[in-house]
Amino acid sequence: MIRSFLEWLGNTPWSIALVESYYMWPWVESTHVLSLALFVGTAIMMDLRLVGLAFQGVPASSFIDRLLPWTRIGFVIMVVTGLFLFYSSPLRYYHNLFFRIKCMMLMIAGLNIWLFHSRILTSIDTWDDAGTPPRAARIAGIVSIVMWTGVVFSGRLIAYNWFDCDIQPQPTWVNSMAQCPVDEVAP
Amino acid sequence: MPPEGWIVFFEWCEATVLGTAVRNSVYAFPLIEAVHLVALCVMGGALIMVDLRLLGLGMKDQNAGQLARLVRPWLVGAIVVMLSTGVLLFLSEAIKCFYNTSFWVKMITLPIALGFTFLVRDPRIMKGAPTLLQSRMLGSVSMALWFVVAAAGRWIGYS
């Protein structure tokens, strides 16, 4: 069901045009990579403040109020360009192990953001000026740094076909994690 | 394009132990590249927050010089990681780089950007509040320079 949809998606004229284009794909991909500096870069600056590793003299709310809007702009660019990249070869990414790891980390990062905003940020008035924020905020900062680092790492590795389904034999755990349709690709 | 004779140096680079080791490993180049990217995030974030402030955006309630001072260890740390991973990547494919226009664009703008950040922008804003015009100039020149460095860097892989 998902596979047949993605197969159809990858065969739409625009998807083929995008993956075969000489300049368009690199432009979209470069925008995706350069926006990392804005998105993950500013997010990590805020995380460092939350963990208490940097900017101890700057109120935490200053990051939330002033820097976070820029992080969000970066995020929108990442998502839009990322969707275009996915659209260029949907089926390949769907079965790509690193893409799957990246998606899992994205979900954990998203959950972490939701918990931070709904549980921890509500009490910011009590720790806004604290050089070392409360434990929950520090944990949220660490989870964020680890997840976004992992997202960048696995995102970069999507480009490599080490574990792609059409390269067999692969270890069983790879084929099952990537849900490779082994019957179809087996020689 | 650089003088043709320089190729001898690039051939030597590519033949170094480190260059050969990275080139002969399936996993080394991609993993070093990924570290290079993570460091890009930290470096980019550290630069952007100060540059935005200089442009009158972002963390407006903070003093630009103070921000630059606080972020300095992270900026320097990230640049050290960028340079060391960058050298490893370069050594593994030095000859390709020699014929790559993007590589040369990056090699020319990188020292300019580094010099601008550490010899012009930071000393100026740490000394005391810059005028509005100076502030806007410092922020936009810094962003433009680093943008070219990063964009040319990404483009090395495409050309």
Tell me if A39 sits within 8 A of A147, measured CB to CB.
no
pLDDT tens-digit readout, A121-169: 999 999 999 989 999 999 999 999 999 999 999 999 999 988 888 888 8
Average pLDDT of the residues in A73-102? 96
Per-residue pLDDT of chain B (159 residues; tens, 9 = 90+): 788 889 999 999 999 999 999 999 999 999 999 999 999 999 999 999 999 999 999 999 999 999 999 999 999 999 999 999 999 999 999 999 999 999 999 999 999 999 999 999 999 999 988 999 999 999 999 999 999 999 999 999 887
Contact residues, A window 81-140, toward B, CB-based 8 Å cutoff: none
Q: How far is B26 from chain A (nearest CA, A)?
A: 9
Tell me if A103 sits within 8 A of A150, measured CB to CB.
no
HSE-CB of A67 using CA atoms within 13 angstroms: 31
- Contacts with B60 from chain A: Cβ below 8 Å: 66
Which of A31, A53, A64, A67 would you mutate first to test chain B, the one with the most B CBs within 10 A?
A67
Which of B35, B41, B149 would you mutate first to test chain A, the one with the most A CBs within 10 A?
B41
Tell me if A46 sits within 8 A of A67, measured CB to CB.
yes
Give the count of domains, chain A. Answer: 1
Interface confidence (ipTM) of the complex: 0.92
Query: Which residue segment(s) compose the domain that A95 sits in?
Result: 2-185
Give the pair of three-digit tokens for residue B24.
Answer: 């002969």
Helix axes A68-88, A24-51, angle to 10 degrees: 140
Query: Which residue segment(s) compose the domain that B48 sits in?
Result: 4-156
Give the count of domains, chain B. Answer: 1
Q: Residue B38 and residue A149: Cβ atoms within 8 Å?
A: yes
